[in-house]
Amino acid sequence: MSVRDRKQYAFDLLMLTVVIIWGFNFSVMKLVYRSVHPIAFNAVRFLIATSTMTLLLKLSGVSIRIDREDVRGVVWLGFVTNTVYQFLFVLGLDRTKAGNAGLLMALTPIFAYLIGVFMKRERFSPGVLSGIILSLVGVSTIIFFGSSQISFGGSRNGDLMMIGAAFCWGWYSAKSIRWLPKYGALRLTVTSMIAGTAIMLPLSVPWLLSQNWSGIGPAAWLGLGYSALLSIVYGYFVWAHALNSIGLAHTAVFSNVTPIVALAAGWIVLGERPVGAQLIGVVLVLTGVFMVRSRKPMVVPDE
């Protein structure tokens, strides 16, 4: 096995740990929502995550300075992925069924790949696209066989928010490729987080003030810490490193494994027992991931 192959397999393993954390994060968030408003929850976890990431960057000796010509672009990146995306996600999750959220967020790799092609940073590949679509079919199978978990009729606003969130994350995955070679994963992730959190916090003030913080139990605080430190800090760092190392399509498709973990986590944490037919969806998702994973990334170099 070559050094290149070992490096790629190492990133595959890291991405699987992120998928597990993100999959369980869904159940953790649902539990914390019982005592904390979604917007207040999101503001506090991003304050914790951004402070931690900034400290880690400082301890590593990496500057957070961005060249003047890139400031506007990086601020816009932070606004879309750490303000708009997060508001759409937490509010959409609060307004729709769990099955809807899992299915619609699975659109992320489709958006990421197509945006990458549109931006001429990915070459169109029927093989890669087929793997992504097969993964999406698998996610659909998982969700639709869980009939008690999906209902598009009564949650239209939440569904639209989740589609918007999937588009924002796909846009971030494609757009960040522009600055990753220049600033590196840690620097770009932290600076965009600082920008997005600085915009998010003032918008969240009404919900932060109205939240009954004294009524929050230890379990909810633990859940908030899990979501801030593992789901955001660790997850974002690994995601950004993988984008820079194994390519856009290979990284983005791993998000389709998240619903599988979320299905298991819902069973373990929330008592949501999956039906046998949903295992077909698991096979389809893993097959799609393998199809994309086994093909060489085709990132178009900057001109």
Return d(Cα 41, Cα 143) in angstroms, integer: 26
Claim: this prediction has a pTM higher than 0.85: no
Structure confidence by residue, pLDDT tens digits, 152-178: 555 667 778 888 898 888 888 778 778
Residue 158's SS3 state is: helix
Distance between alpha carbon 256 and the CA centroid of its chain, in Å? 10
Beta-bridged to residue 299, according to DSSP, are 122
- The sign of the torsion formed by the CA atoms of 62, 63, 69, 73 equals positive
Q: With pLDDT > 90 as the criterion, what percentage of the chain qualifies? A: 29
Both tokens of 268, joined, read 């373990």
Return d(Cα 47, Cα 200) in angstroms, integer: 10
Q: Name 210's Cβ contacts closer than 8 Å, sequence gap at least 6.
A: 37, 40
Residue 299's SS3 state is: strand
Structure confidence by residue, pLDDT tens digits, 185-205: 778 889 999 999 999 999 999
- The sign of the torsion formed by the CA atoms of 286, 151, 204, 29 equals negative
Give me the long-range contacts of 126-129 (CB less than 8 A, separation at least 24). 127/291, 127/295, 128/249, 128/291, 128/292, 128/295, 128/298
Instruction: Name which residue leads in pLDDT, 3 or 13.
Output: 13
- Position 280, amino acid: I
Q: What is the pLDDT of residue 267?
A: 81
Q: What is the pLDDT of residue 217?
A: 92
The lowest-confidence range among 35-44, 74-83, 191-200, 235-244 is 235-244
Please give the DSSP secondary-structure letter assigned to residue 184. -
Structure confidence by residue, pLDDT tens digits, 217-253: 999 999 999 999 999 999 888 877 776 676 666 666 6
Both tokens of 258, joined, read 């998240």
Both tokens of 170, joined, read 């796909």
Both tokens of 116, joined, read 């990458």
Secondary structure, 3-state, 79-123:
HHHHHHHHHHHHHHHHHCCHHHHHHHHCCHHHHHHHHHHHCCCEC
